[in-house]
Structure 1
Amino acid sequence: MDSKYIIGIIIAIVIIAGAYMVFASGSNSNKITIAGSTSVQPVAEKLAQVYMQKNPNVKINVQGGGSGVGIKSVSEGTVNIGTSSKDLSANESTGLNQNVIGKDGIVIAVNTANSVNGLTVTQLKDIFSGNVTNWNQVGGANAKIDVITREDGSGTRTAFEDLILNKTAKIKADAIVQSSTEAVKQSVKGDPNAIGFISLVDLDSSVKALTVNGVTPSEQTVSDGTYKLQRPFIFLTKGEPKGAVKDFIDWVMGPEGQAIIKSANVVPAK
């Protein structure tokens, strides 16, 4: 066979292979995976939906799992963005870049039939640690208090423990454990004697939000600091974000992304 013909075939193969690699690389670079906090998840999903509509070449997949999963996954490089609804410890934050996209309130939720309208931080500590076990001890009906909590590794639980229990007490051992804010809300909705904590993002008319120290949870009271039960919503990347991930985070931190965050009842970072 003519050597020039063979060389031509080799060159063609190299060009095709190179083009395929460029295409494949470009395709992968436009896929963004996000996982972590179930409180951040609905906000991240809204952001992703709008961003993909504006940038149809970018595909964003958003999953939950909890803040612990988000921190672990992004640290190990199995996702592009990890999400957390709690401040990271020094050990957790090693090698990670943090973008606080907003602030969220932690709502104390009870059944809509509950006559109690508000509790103090001290009362909440006593209820969740098991020192107070009947609603009549805090002005309610004569009924056992059913405590609903989140699983270990939940950013919402960690933030709640830091803010309410203050590392001087633990959530009672027989508390009912749920794996998402939605699951907590459904438990409270279905149990007239239940109490739990959920994200302000997830608050709706199916449950009743209690005042804490006389302050109603809202975007305004979280923003002005009068409602003390609040925590950050964080996007995490392994090192500085690059490429499509950087473009997406820049958009989230910009005016359009922050407006979407505000519409989700989260206090914008900017």
Structure 2
Amino acid sequence: MKKFGILVVVFIVCVAFLSSYANADVETEKISLNGSTSMEKMVNALKEGLEDKYPELLIEPQFTGSSAGIEAVLNGTTDIGNSSRYLKDSEKEKGLIENIVAIDAIVIVTDTQNKVNNLTTQQLIDIYTGKIRNWKEVGGEDLPIVVVGREAGSGTRSAFEEILHIEEQCQYANEVNETGPIIAKVQSIHGAIGYVSLDVIDETVKPLAIDGIQASEETIQNGQYSLQRPFVMATKDTIEKQNEEVQKLFQYIQSEDGQKIIRAVGLVPTSNKMSY
């Protein structure tokens, strides 16, 4: 009986050794992404789905801002640079390809107690450039407007200011480095106004209509909602010239599962705008 017990133990040890050896022999394939904090929710959702489909893939995202992501892909420290704005001509001239994977709406939000439901585009411009400073000037209560925005270099800020043609003109009371703190500031300050990505809107803030149009998939697709911007996964050269792992990521985004994920996080997919 003792001999049998020893044989069983030896067998178990051998199986465990062979199993660990076999697992060690499987090489992990990594894909690195860096860039826009606004794209974090979408990228993490795609990461989960992609790693389920391809267990050998390891997706390594960082969220340091659009400009930092673009610089990272240019200098070769990341495979994909995530940008929540269109690429500049100067960036394209350096060999970057603008792969638009989704369209996002920039939504204007206030605290839930604010009585204003709609702003015209001109009123929004005037608020952010300091010409309108009190909510009573746009049909609200007699309350100072606290203008909140992103930091310089943010893709969201760049897109917002470019759409409204107010680059370098905004007068911010508060500038924050990520999307989350915009929500927190607006939620906690009565009279605050801010801009965030559609996919992060929750019940703690109040989204405003612009020119009578609320942001939705329908109004983004038909172009009625004016404050919209691309979510770009920039690559150095075309997708077909990327390594096999990166190509798998873009193929997954274009798949039915990938498109469902993009819609599930509140974005509009645009798979036909990738550069093969």
Query: Is the pair's TM-score, using the shorter chain for normalization, greater than 0.5?
Result: yes
Aligned positions of 1:201-220 closer than 5 A: 201-220=199-218
Q: Are 2:116 and 2:139, in contact at CA under 8 Å, matched by a contact in 1?
A: yes
Residues 129 and 169 of structure 1 are in contact (CA less than 8 Å); yes or no, is this contact kept in structure 2? no
Deviation at 1:167? Answer: 4.1
**1:194 alignment partner in structure 2:** 192
How far is 1:247 from its partner? 1.1
Deviations 1:30-69 (A, max 9, x none): 1111111111111011001111012111100122111111
Partner of 1:40: 39
Equivalent positions of 1:49-60 (< 5 A) are: 49-60=48-59
Shift of 1:169: 6.2
Q: Secondary structure at the match of 1:183?
A: helix
Q: Aligned equivalents of 1:142 and 1:44: distance in 2? A: 41
Quote how far apart the aligned CAs of 1:218 are: 1.1
Within 1, Cα distance between the matches of 2:54 and 2:256?
17
Cα distance between partner residues in 2 of 1:67 and 1:27: 31
Q: Does 1:222 align with 2:199?
A: no
Q: Given residue 62 of structure 1, which amino acid in structure 2 is its aligned partner?
A: P
Identity of aligned residues (%): 37
Q: How do residues 81-160 of structure 1 correspond to structure 2 at under 5 angstroms? A: 81-93=80-92, 94-160=94-160
Deviations 1:68-125 (A, max 9, x none): 1111111111111110110111112221122111100000000001000010110000
TM-superposed CA distance for 1:27, in Å, is 3.7
Amino acid in the other structure paired with 1:234: V
Distance in 1 (alpha carbons) for counterparts of 2:97 and 2:144: 45
Aligned residue type for 1:233: F
3-state SS of the aligned residue for 1:92?
helix
- 1:114-168 CA distances to partner (integer Å, 9 max, x unpaired)? 000010110000100111111111111111110000011111111110112x147
Give distance in 1, aligned partners of 2:122 and 2:91.
30
Deviation of residue 266 (structure 1)? 0.4
Q: Are positions 1:63 and 2:62 aligned together?
A: yes
Choose from 230, 233, 255 the match for 2:231. Answer: 233
Letter of the 1:135 counterpart: W
Q: Please tell me the residue identity of whatever aligns with 2:119.
A: L
Deviation at 1:263, TM superposition (A): 1.1
Distance 1:183 1:246, change over 3 A: same
Structure 2: distance between partners of 1:149 and 1:167: 13
Alpha carbons of 1:168 and 1:264: their partners in 2 closer, same or farther (altered >3 Å)?
closer
Give the corresponding residue for 2:252.
251
**Runs of 4+ displaced beyond 3 Å:** none
Question: What is the TM-score of this pair, normalised by structure 1?
Answer: 0.87
Aligned-residue RMSD, C-alpha: 1.6
Mark the runs of 5 or more structure 2 residues left unpaired by the alignment.
1-23, 272-276
Name the CA distance, whole Å, in 2 between partners of 1:128 and 1:175. 10
> Structure 1 unaligned runs (5+)?
1-22
TM-score between the two structures when normalised by the length of structure 2:
0.85
Match of 2:11 in 1: none
Q: Which amino acid aligns with 1:261?
A: I
- Return the letter of the residue paired with 2:181: A
AA aligned opposite 2:250:
I
